[in-house]
Structure 1
């Protein structure tokens, strides 16, 4: 038997003002898009903004449906649209922000498991890490240099 230790490293910024200007702008796009979320059931709105290597910014917000789980998260809305509209572009950076109408969200909120798996697919496909920044409605912002930090031992096409 052998024990394996897996570690992840993140950078934590105290607030948006500490981020590089380009990342602040990307996060502001995610914040603006968050307000377009359709979340009448959960009251939990999420916005995502993706910077592509062709300098396009693609955004997405979560879209709920009374027939759970027919809705779609903001991250997957954005990443699937990017893949459909710009199939040859690489994803450089993703900014994610979430807010709740039921409570204050001032802690960083990472992508859910389904979104992590979807982002992982694109990271593997492009053979290049995707920087991911995530936050609540306010407060600290966390940066991961790669989706692999958020989903170690991921499932990919090599298993199929």
Structure 2
């Protein structure tokens, strides 16, 4: 891994937690004709096995920034912080990352973005991070991102 805290990957590494793989498969199966799912199609009941590992980011001003609407409980445990209500730009400012730019790309393309990343607050821990584009309602443009985080056992 390079000195960068984030390394984008095309496929999940073999060491990835099976739950992360299952979530990506469920998200992919919910896409229709290449269009990311909406919150009615992929609802909270279907997401129950993954809820603690998901944080919900909502685009502000067309993607100028992203507000963290909900931080998953497992994400908070891994990082030691709950960022609910804060913005992705604050993550960038604090940790020297490019999360806003990466999320803009996810919104623009409607495609997931997969990363091996360090847990910024606990640099000795690595994780698999998936940024999954979502639509808040049927017919809406992509306006949310589900960020799923799973520790990488390697």
Query: What's the TM-score once normalised by structure 1's chain length?
Result: 0.30
Q: Which structure has more strand as a fraction of its residues?
A: 2
Which structure has the bigger radius of gyration?
Answer: 1
Tell which has more relative contact order, 1 or 2 (C-alpha 8 A, sep 6+): 2
